[in-house]
């Protein structure tokens, strides 16, 4: 779900994505579990290309850009944009917890 890449794609299942963000926050709040979010060794099976941290960091950057664009073009307020904006804010909040 973190690999969706776009907030529009993620906003199709906001409840599911919010649950994913809550799980990430819970893992980040336990020092012993934080390594689960970071890069995994190359020998880890099944092999993982990107860590949760790097995927979340990419979504954090996308979210900041999206919110900035919404601020510049407030005339295009649609229901999808509202949901995407809420999710973008939650992504930013979650990344701060993990960071």
Angle at Cα 92 formed by Cα 3 and Cα 10, nearest 5°?
A: 35
Does 12 have pLDDT greater than 80?
A: yes
Mean predicted lDDT score pLDDT of the chain: 85
Does 89 have pLDDT greater than 90?
A: yes
Domain range for 29:
2-98
The CA-atom distances, in angstroms, between 76 and each of 2, 72, 81, 85 are: 26, 10, 8, 12
| Number of domains forming the structure of the chain | 1
In eight-state DSSP terms, residue 50 is S
Average pLDDT over residues 30-57: 85
Does 93 have pLDDT greater than 70?
A: yes
pTM: 0.82
pLDDT in tens, 46-83: 777 788 999 999 999 999 998 888 877 666 667 777 88
């Amino acid at each position: 779900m973190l690999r969706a890449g776009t907030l529009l794609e993620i906003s199709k299942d906001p409840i599911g994505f919010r649950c994913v963000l809550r799980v990430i926050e819970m893992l980040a709040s336990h020092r012993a579990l934080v390594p689960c979010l970071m890069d995994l060794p190359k020998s880890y099976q099944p092999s993982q290309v990107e860590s949760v941290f790097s995927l979340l960091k990419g979504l954090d950057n996308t979210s900041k850009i999206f919110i900035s664009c919404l601020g510049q073009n407030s005339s295009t307020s649609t229901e999808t944009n509202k949901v995407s904006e809420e999710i973008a804010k939650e992504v930013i909040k979650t990344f701060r917890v993990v960071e």
